Structure 1
Amino acid sequence: MKQGLPLIVTRADPGGAATVERAKALGLDARHLPLFAARPLDWAVPADGFDALLLTSAQAVRLAGPGLANLAGLPVYTVGPATAAAAEAAGLAVVMTGPGDGQSLLDAMASQDIDHILWLCGRDRSAFDARNAQLTSLPVYAVDPVDPPPGWSEAIAEPAVLLAHSARGAARIAELVGSARAHLSLVAISAAAAAGAGEGWGQIAIAAQSDDAAMLAAAHNLCQKGE
């Protein structure tokens, strides 16, 4: 049975479908209207030796392809449990999982005197301070904007709650929604994502942690309040 306001999930698959599944398990009226699509990039392992592998997104594992097997000997540091689970399923040895903040994980790695880190990442990525380590960024996937799917215009015309899983995603949502947004609420994964969404929303909530569970907890609250 429908409960509260609709929840619009805009992130690319497979993460988007997983978010919708979790939201429906919480009793939310979740609708998957992705505004991005992920695709693999061609890449090769650099010749330099590395001390550790950094993974900040499960997409890097899912889209890296067969070349990932060449890195199976490295200790792996991951951001978030979903990335850790994807890495372990791919046969990688996860030695540490951070709570959802790439910079905090790099700080922890710096305290272990790790000198040379290989980061499998997306083409569009955040900037991190590797402290005294050498961080080599290697894009293995891209997440590109796509046209809004059927049902988008109707979904945002009525009160609803939207999820923004990144600052880039928040900016795209804001662009497509336009200035008529006072009837819509937004849950942002971080303060940076909230800033990317701009002003004029009915409500903006920032997740207590940078993960799906915290975002859905905030969304559940907004969906019920706005009913």
Structure 2
Amino acid sequence: MTGSRPLIVTRPEPGNSATVERARAMGFDARAMPLFAARPLEWTAPPPADFDALLLTSASAARLAGPGLASLASLPVYAVGAATADAANATGLTVAMAGTADVQLLLDAMTSRNIRRILWLCGRDRTELGAGSAALTPLPCHAVDRIAPPDAWAGLIAAPAMLLAHSVRAAAYISELAGTARGHLALVAISPKVAAAAGDGWGAIAIAGQPDDAAMLAQAHALWHKVPK
């Protein structure tokens, strides 16, 4: 996309590099500007016999859980998204189902299989989930913390650019950092909730058709043709 405004990718690594690579393959002038960093937390694995299945909603849970994950290897894993399933497989876990990016659909599928005791290996900051008649036990094993923006951030947002917001927390932080520059910036949000967290005042804002990285980039491509160059 010759002459296009930069596409700023704010998600933490290693997802940031993956998104940048996909975006550049599509012709974007993609810039890696992670605003969060993931780190492991101390946790103790419960007896696997107390549960019917293990729910993973983020690849970070599998990557950062550490040696305690091995004690849960007897539990079938239900993973949100292909990247999470791949990360689980890489640790030696057995993935029974890899759902879409919609965790509620995956939970519904689990309960339809009569899975009643679910251990959710999750992040410290998480969205509350409803599991219907099943018992869902969250166990934080990692945290994703805000970090200071990279040095090039201020220069990039001083001119027209597009940004990707992959989570509610990311949208709120991007909005805070952008301040009054929002008027000449465009934002692509992964969901309506994320768009709402970004607030008003953007030069343009769009929502991905599906809650995943590919749909965000497709929406960014469509938005690029609409906003003034």
Give the TM interval when normalised to the shorter protein.
Answer: over 0.9
1-side partners of 2:17 and 2:23: how far apart?
10
- How many residues in Structure 1 have an aligned counterpart in Structure 2? 227
Structure 1 residue 117 displacement after superposition: 0.4
Normalising by structure 2, we get a TM-score of 0.95
Retained in 1: the 8 A contact 2:121–2:141? Answer: yes
What is the CA distance between 1:2 and its match in structure 2? Answer: 4.5
Partner of 2:168: 167
Question: Any idea what SS the aligned residue of 1:180 has?
Answer: helix
Match in the other structure for 1:60: 61
Which aligned pairs between 1:125-136 and structure 2 lie closer than 5 A? 125-136=126-137
Q: Which has the larger displacement, 95-104 or 123-132?
A: 95-104
Aligned-pair distance for 1:42?
0.6
- 1:177 matched to 2:174: no
Match of 1:148?
A: 149
**Structure 1 unaligned spans of 5+:** none
Contiguous gaps of at least 5 residues in structure 2: none
What pairs up with 1:108-127 in 2 under 5 angstroms?
A: 108-127=109-128
Deviation at 1:153, TM superposition (A): 0.5
The aligned residue for residue 8 of structure 2 is 8
The CA deviation at 1:112 is 1.0
User: Could you say which residue in structure 1 is the equivalent of 2:39?
Assistant: 39
1:2 & 1:31 partners in 2: Cα distance? Answer: 15
> How big is each residue's C-alpha offset from its partner over 1:45-86, in whole Å with a ceiling of 9 and x where there is no partner?
123611000000101111111111111111110111111111
Q: How does 1:204-215 map to 2 (within 5 A)?
A: 204-215=205-216
Q: Does the CA-based 8 Å contact 1:11-1:36 persist in structure 2?
A: yes
Amino acid corresponding to residue 189 of structure 1 in structure 2: I
Query: 1:51 — aligned with what?
Result: 52
Q: Which has the higher contact order (CA 8 A, sep 6+)?
A: 1
**RMSD after superposition:** 1.3
Shift of 1:8: 0.2
Query: Secondary structure at the residue paired with 2:79?
Result: strand
**Given that residues 171 and 197 in structure 1 are in contact (C-alpha distance below 8 angstroms), is that contact kept between their aligned partners in structure 2?**
yes
Counterpart of 1:34, as a letter, is: P
CA distance in 2: counterparts of 1:216 and 1:69, whole angstroms: 35
The answer to whether the 8 A contact 1:123-1:140 is kept is: yes
Q: Which residue of 1 aligns with 2:88?
A: 87
Cα distance in 1 for partners of 2:73, 2:27 equals 39
Distance 1:195 1:179 in 2: 17
Equivalent position of 1:158 in the other structure: 159
Percent sequence identity over matched residues?
Answer: 64
Answer whether contact 1:103 1:129 (CA < 8 A) is retained.
Answer: yes
Check whether the contact 1:39–1:143 (CA below 8 A) recurs between aligned residues: yes
Quick one: which amino acid aligns to residue 204 of structure 1?
Answer: I
Preserved contact between residue 3 and residue 224 of structure 1 (Cα < 8 Å): no
Letter in 2 for 1:59: S
1:29 and 2:1 matched: no
Structure-1 residue corresponding to 2:202: 201
Shift of 1:3: 5.0
